[in-house]
Amino acid sequence: MHTGTRAMEKAERTATRAARKDVPASFVSRATRIGVGRALRDSVPRASHARWTPSTDHRDPIDLLERSNKNRLQELVPIRYGRMLRSPFTFLRGSAALMAYDLATTPNTAVTVQACGDCHLLNFGLFATPERNLVFDLNDFDETLPAPWEWDLKRLAVSFVIAGRDSNLSDVDAREAAVDCVRAYRESLRKYSRMNPLEVWYDRLDMETIIAMAPDEKARKIREQYSKKARERVLENLFPKIAGAVAGRHRIIDQPPIIFHVAARDFDERVREGLADYRESLSDERRVLLDRYRLEDFALKVVGIGSVGTRCYIALLFDEMNHPLILQFKEAGRSVLEPYAGKSRYDLQGQRVVMGQRLMQPTSDIFLGWVTGRKGQHLYVRQLRDAKIKPMVETFDAETLNLYGMICGWVLARAHAKVSALSSTISGYLGSSSDEFDKAMGKFAIAYADQAERDHAALKSAVKKGKIKAYQESTL
């Protein structure tokens, strides 16, 4: 048992005894939980998070990556490796399973939250709420699972160092962005620990607030352009790029090996059966909305980096006036955190993703749902694009990366605090004024970024020696 686990159990027993006997443990006072967090510093010193050493001399990154390909479409795995080869940053994005293996060996307080599981800086961005407002938040939950809060924060901090290096920033600037991201998390979590649950639940970071936070006129204009671009990334603009008319009917355009129709004889029947089953996962009023659309076409689409090789399909639907709707059916395997954090309470992995997303986001896609395919694959469903846009991190200077880090830290704190009374415990552990933990995380981020570069080099070597195959696309 990890020392943090033993310390947390002891501290929780103390907190429960301190509370009235008729009050459930979840209703222990904030002051008591702050004290529990402070007590955890004895067994898991905040400075201990600076350390990174591989758990064993026999740690083989290629073997761990190959294991993560077990249930993927093997013909698409070379595309995954090709995308990971581009840089240490794309390698990090595609190696959540490898980092989960490593994070499980690092110090943690055993305080569990609903974790993202793949918390790097490009899994944050703008998207449209059902009310058509733009908000900035986490937007990828394929690996979500209850797990130690430190794991999300460590992966996020590391991503800032690697992204900074990818943009030719100095390690001093990259580490500063990571440290300020962690500081923003610590300070925001303290704020959320003082708020009532409804206040935290309703809190969100909208685009108007982000624009108002701009430090100068230049930054304000850049953010306004970013907002405009997000509003243009809607279905009406995407549709002509991936669909066309064939024999008088709308069809998805094949763009192999990235988009292509599945040739299986019974595939159309399975699709319609899956669409009907997915409908059952929606609430009644959203079923009414879905029923306004008819299915026209269905194809496989390769997405992301870490997701390449998993089954991902797009469904093209139209209403009675031929307005399009494109839904994405994305395979959900078991979370990469599961071997180290335990199984999900949900047997259906698509349901795990959907519920984690609803818990962590301030608001979610109205078409979120899940389905189990006839052959047993678990999938979750969402709109393919709804004003979603990721930041152009490669264009960031040191100041912009730093500001972006603070925003990501803020948003992650809100996500962790949204459904857990343990935000007070975490806040007590981090402290309100000391930057000891922030600096430790900066050191860890540098050390693990070095590890990711070594692992990226190992991947390049394996491809060069012919041990694994990689398909290099001209564009991502």
Give the pLDDT of residue 4: 59
The series of mean pLDDT values per 10 residues for the chain, 476 residues long, is: 58 49 64 93 97 86 93 89 96 96 96 96 88 87 97 98 96 97 97 95 90 84 80 65 80 89 89 95 97 95 81 93 92 96 97 97 94 92 75 86 95 94 94 96 98 97 95 69
Report the C-alpha gap between 138 and 158 in whole angstroms. 17
Report the C-alpha gap between 160 and 92 in whole angstroms. 11
* Residue showing tokens 């979610």: 364
Give the pLDDT of residue 215: 81
pTM confidence score: 0.90
Six-digit token pair at 421?
């009374």
Six-digit token pair at 305?
């980096």
CA dihedral 216→220→223→229, nearest 10 degrees, is -150
Give the pLDDT of residue 20: 41
Report the C-alpha gap between 194 and 421 in whole angstroms. 10
Q: Where are the alpha helices (DSSP H) in 244-397?
A: 267-279, 284-290, 338-341, 349-360
